[in-house]
Every structure is written in structure tokens, then in C-alpha cells.
Amino acid sequence: MSKANASIPIAFEELAETLEKIPNGYAKTSDDTYLRVLQWIFSEGEAQLASKMKLRGELVEELAERLEIPIEGLKEKLELMHDKGQITVYDTRTGRKYGLMPFAVGIYEEQWKRMDEDFALLVEEYFRKAGTNQLFDTEPPIFRVVPINRVIKPELEIYPFETAQDMIKNPKSW
């Protein structure tokens, strides 16, 4: 942990690093603003759990086994995190899956129910200090990724973004 961030628990730095590795990333600032944003959204325990979650989502049982943590109370904690807009949840044939979301578009937008003036000002400060270039210049660009949580069979024809965009703008039939 850096000197500037000595009072901020390591769980928030770990979550920031995890978010930086996924599409759209999570840019660091020269000070601890990027960590204070996460501190507003997550408790230390929530940040610690979220930093170990996967984008693709996992069943409670899978998550508990992979992280070697007790399953008791985990589902309730994950549901609360979902209610707070910290993680995504979706139902599949095999059960309810819990997954990490990118900061933007994802966690940040889900804070609308909880947002107050302090958080709005903090996020404005974060975006000003972090700049938007790093946020939107990641590879692959998040707006070109279509998460379907399924294997794409090789016989499918995959169109470039521009072709798919043209097909949507100029449909031939319903």
C-alpha cells in the first residue's frame, strides 16, 4: 500500500486493480480519489469479495468453493451487494449467478438509487483527475463486447461491429 493511501484498506486497492483489468478499466488518480470512490460504494468486506469475482458470474456454490470461503451467509451478502448496485445477478438454467461489473458502464450507473451530493462531487473529481481517455480507450472496447455468457459455436458468422451496426440501422425484415 502506498503512503498516500495508508488509511485506506488494501481491499480497495485490490478491487481497483481487478476493475482495471476488465473492459473499460478503472483508471488510477495521482492521489487516493479513485480509492475513495470505491470506499463510498463498497464496505471493506464487499470490496474484498468483489475483487475476487468474475465477470461471467458464478453460482454461490462455485464462488464459495473457488474462494475457499464458507457458503453460510454468502448468498445473502451477494444479494445485498446486488441491491446496492455493486455486482450483477442473473438467472440461468443451472441457477442464479453473481458476477462483477465494470465500473463504467456498470457499478457507477447502478449507484443512482444511493447517490447523494457528496458521491456526485467525488465521482466528478475522479473523472476530472482520471480523464476519460483511459476509461474509454481500453481493448476490447466495452461497447463492442456483447456479453451473452455462452460459447459461440465456430460455424456462426461473426460480423465486424460496423457491419452489425449497419444491419441494425438498415433492417431488411423483422
Distance CA 101, CA 58 (A): 13
Point out the least confidently predicted range of 18-22, 77-81, 84-88.
Answer: 18-22
Q: Which fold has domain 3-145?
A: Arc Repressor Mutant, subunit A (1.10.10)
Q: Given this model, what pLDDT does residue 169 score?
A: 85
Mean pLDDT across 111-135: 85
Torsion angle defined by CA atoms of residues 127, 9, 115 and 122, in that order, rounded to the nearest 10 degrees: -30
- Domain ranges within the chain, ordered by starting residue: 3-145
Any bridge partners for residue 95, and if so which?
92
Question: With 50 as the cut, is the pLDDT of residue 2 above it?
Answer: no
Distance CA 168, CA 163 (A): 9
Side chain identity, residue 124: E
User: Can you give the pTM of this predicted structure?
Assistant: 0.71
Residues 13-38 have pLDDT tens digits of 999 999 999 878 898 998 999 999 99
